[in-house]
Amino acid sequence: MTEYSLKQLAEYVDGEVRGDANLVVAGVGTLQSASAAQIAFLANSRYKGQLETSRAGAVILSPKDAEDMPAINAIVVNNPYAAFAKVAQRLDTTPLPAEGVAETAKVHASAKLGSNVALGEYVVIEAGAVIGDNVTIGAHTHIGPEVTVGADTKIWSGVNIYHRCVIGAQCNIHSGAVIGADGFGWAPENGRWLKIPQIGRVIIGDDVEIGASTTVDRGALDDTVISNGCIIDNQCQIAHNVFIDENTAIAGCTVLAGSCRIGKRCMIGGASAINGHISICDDVQIMGFAMVIKEITEPGVYASGIPATHHREWRRNGARYRQLDDLFKRVKGIEQELQKIK
């Protein structure tokens, strides 16, 4: 079990201790569920009333919320949510994907493993692969020929990384992810489809997280690129030759079509669809279920999609939608007649 005193944790998050600095905590929890051996956080002042009844051993909160707080142990810091994330990392008890090197792991003679690499059962590492120091690879994962994996990266069970892909340092790739499968490249000829070989790679930067069952297609000619600090949720589709710039977050079930470019620090809500061959500038927030079909050139919040309504209302609106073109022509005709009168 990992344990830290409030003093140690406060120093780690650059905060101030109120109360017993020597109190030891061994886990994290919510204000409602935490025990005396755990630390909770208050990031939203409207939940401040829960401090009175919380059994948490300590709480992380802001200077404003600490002004008239009850007599509890606390770490006071300007950004409680970020501080809680850092503390939770220190107290994390999630087991590693593997420990040691399993006897069933298969490593090609030409592959290079760094120091302290852990390989789970039935891991396969193909020819020419280079695995950095302190990399952990879970059971039944396949690392293709000439793949590079940076130091301190965790790859969970059942991941497939195709040939020549590059994974950066300190990444976290979850189960079922497929990195470097063929992009959807085909040419029509006489009613048939001719496959276009996808000879690019996937390049993933440092500190990137790829969610479970997410697919990142390799480039057709150039590379598909996911830059440093990006976080991608579960079951997303990143098509060939997509470029995602640094520290962008993409929520679950989002689809990025081929050759689109996403800027820095963007946030894309779940189940969104981004059209191919368009660019989205830095600092854009796209709400869930949005369909982006043209370029976004100004930072801000964007939304689309149709909220659920009663079926009867939806059918009426659907019928009226089909009449929009006719209605537009009628209005246009009326405007023209009015112009003649003037």
Interval 153-208: pLDDT, tens? 999 999 999 999 999 999 999 999 999 999 999 999 999 999 999 999 999 999 99
Which listed residue (142, 163, 174, 240) is catalytic? Answer: 240
Question: CA 139, CA 120: separation in Å to the nearest integer?
Answer: 4
In this prediction, residue 341 has a pLDDT band, given cuts at 50, 70 and 90, of: confident
Token code pair at residue 290: 């949005």
Nearest-CA neighbor of 255 among 199, 311, 200, 214? 214
Q: Is 310 a catalytic residue?
A: no
Question: CA 301, CA 285: separation in Å to the nearest integer?
Answer: 5
User: pTM of the entire structure?
Assistant: 0.92
pLDDT at res. 261: 98
**Full 3-state SS string of the chain:** CCCEEHHHHHHHHCCEEECCCCCEECEECCCCCCCCCEEEECCCHHHHHHHCCCCCCEEEECHHHHCCCCCCCEEECCCHHHHHHHHHHHCCCCCCCCCCECCCCEECCCCEECCCCEECCCCEECCCCEECCCCEECCCCEECCCCEECCCCEECCCCEECCCCEECCCCEECCCCEEEECCCCEEEECCEEEECCCCCCEEECCCCEECCCCEEECCCCCCEEECCCCEECCCCEECCCCEECCCCEECCCCEECCCCEECCCCEECCCCEECCCCEECCCEEECCCCEECCCECCCEEECCCCCCCCHHHHHHHHHHHHCHHHHHHHHHHHHHHHHHHC
CB atoms within 10 A of CB 326: 9
Q: What is the mean pLDDT of residues 302-325?
A: 91
Residues sharing a CB contact under 8 Å with residue 316, sequence separation 6 or more, in sequence order: none
pLDDT at res. 69: 84
Mean pLDDT of the chain: 96
Cβ–Cβ under 8 Å, residues 1 and 26: yes
* Nearest-5° Cα angle at 159, 154 to 160: 125
Question: Quick one: CA dihedral 305, 308, 313, 316, positive or negative?
Answer: positive
pLDDT at res. 51: 92
In this prediction, residue 308 has a pLDDT band, given cuts at 50, 70 and 90, of: confident
Interval 224-265: pLDDT, tens? 999 999 999 999 999 999 999 999 999 999 999 999 999 999
Q: What is the mean pLDDT of residues 51-70?
A: 93
Nearest-CA neighbor of 218 among 195, 238, 201? 201
Q: Which has the minimum average pLDDT: 139-153, 248-262, 302-316? A: 302-316
